[in-house]
Amino acid sequence: MQWTEFSFILQPSKLGGVGVFATHAIPSGTRVFSGNFSPRKMKITEVPEAFKKFCVYINESECLCPERFDRMEIGWYLNHSHEPNIRKLADSHVVAVRDIKPGDEILMDYNDLHEPDNMKEDYYKKP
């Protein structure tokens, strides 16, 4: 089955907070999400503390943020795993790296975001 806007839903996550969950089976190799990612660059000091957990850090002073924090796309809610079921490829497409069942949480490895090591939270640093 192809990815559509109805492939994922936000739900409470056992990992904490909110997560993204599959609504149907997604075979390994399936391209997921649109590939259109248009974050905005902001100075870290301009982002209120409660919103910083949704940012991707570029360097000590800048980060990538949702286009609008009050209308964040579902991808901003992806949780981390060292054994992800999706991965961003070099061409910016996101694909399922293993079969995903209905109800599975969609997980990515935050290390693939290439944040500076000193800006990463301990729980997702490579062991």
DSSP string computed for 40-57: EEEEGGGS-GGGGGG-EE
Q: Are 24 and 8 in contact (CB under 8 A)?
A: no
Q: Please give the pLDDT value at position 12.
A: 97
For residue range 79-98, what is the model confidence (pLDDT) as tens digits? 999 999 999 887 778 899 99
pLDDT mean across residues, the chain: 89
For residue range 11-54, what is the model confidence (pLDDT) as tens digits? 999 998 999 999 999 999 998 886 666 789 999 999 999 999 89
Paired strand residues for 65: 40
Domains identified in the chain and CATH numbers: 8-113 (2.170.270.10)
Q: Please give the pLDDT value at position 69.
A: 93
**Cα separation values, 124 from 27, 28, 84, 118, 120, Å:** 26, 24, 12, 12, 7
Amino acid letter, 76? W
Q: Please give the pLDDT value at position 88.
A: 84
Helix/strand/coil for 119: helix
